[in-house]
């Protein structure tokens, strides 16, 4: 069975390559895959020097951003803080029920140095971004978020999407609760990383789920947008 699965996987990869599409592989067989057009290597995340106590004291929700770009290394650092791998066994910066990791981190880019506008998905295993589609989708995302203007003003928006089916075989009816808790852990990490780098962000939970999914190109019925984090320079 394992050999047959590997052959099937190889065939899919070859077919995807022939179409000019790569496959963003998630942490284990059976999890959702996100098709991408290209992969972009991210720079090594920076080490944050601000003490944790200071970052906790200074953490605030910031809704006004300078119309200046953020750097690719700053984005890499925020993404690593959100879901980066910190252990050879695959454990990450944020805890996950059963270490199953049902969240996917999408990145809606408007103004990042060295990165064209578009929608990307983060691969924590390789610290890369997979390009889902090109273009500036910030105003569309702003409208989907009940026209909260800071979404459109941000240099980048991080969108956390959960796939409950990753957890349900083990946790049943408690799966959504555990998934939502994990999104909270990730969100706090995003806040603290932004604070330590002098960036601003705010957690947004008010949006039209179907519109956000359509913008991201997420088609799975069980996929649930849980958070939007606009990020910009303070």
- CA end-to-end distance (rounded Å), the chain: 54
Q: What is the pTM of this model?
A: 0.87
pLDDT tens-digit series, residues 122-159: 999 999 999 999 999 999 999 999 999 999 999 999 99
What pLDDT does residue 20 have? 40
Percent of all residues in the chain with a pLDDT value above 70, rounded to a whole number: 86
Exposed, middle or buried, 71 (CB in 10 Å: 0-12/13-18/19+)? middle
Domains delineated in the chain: 38-233 (3.40.109.10)
Q: Residue 15: helix, strand or coil by DSSP?
A: helix
């Amino acid at each position: 069975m394992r050999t047959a699965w590997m052959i099937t996987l190889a065939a899919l990869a070859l077919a995807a390559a022939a179409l000019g599409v790569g496959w963003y592989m998630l942490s284990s067989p059976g999890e959702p895959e996100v098709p991408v057009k290209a992969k972009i290597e991210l720079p090594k995340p920076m080490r944050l020097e601000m003490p944790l106590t200071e970052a906790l004291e200074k953490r605030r929700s910031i809704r006004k951003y300078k119309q200046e770009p953020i750097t690719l290394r700053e984005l890499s650092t925020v993404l690593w803080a959100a879901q980066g791998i910190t252990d050879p066994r695959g454990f990450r910066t944020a805890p996950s029920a059963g270490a199953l990791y049902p969240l996917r981190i999408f990145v809606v880019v408007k103004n990042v140095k060295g990165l064209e506008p578009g929608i990307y998905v983060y691969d924590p295993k390789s610290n890369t971004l997979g390009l889902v589609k090109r273009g500036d989708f910030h105003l569309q995302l702003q409208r989907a978020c009940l026209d909260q203007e800071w979404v459109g003003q941000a240099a980048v928006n991080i969108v956390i999407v959960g796939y409950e089916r990753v957890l349900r075989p083990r946790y049943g009816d408690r799966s959504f609760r555990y998934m939502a808790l994990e999104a909270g852990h990730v969100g706090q990490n995003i806040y603290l990383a932004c604070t330590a780098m002098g960036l601003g962000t705010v957690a947004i939970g008010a949006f039209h789920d179907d519109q956000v999914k359509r913008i991201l190109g997420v088609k799975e019925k069980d996929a649930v947008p849980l958070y939007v984090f606009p990020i910009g320079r303070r």
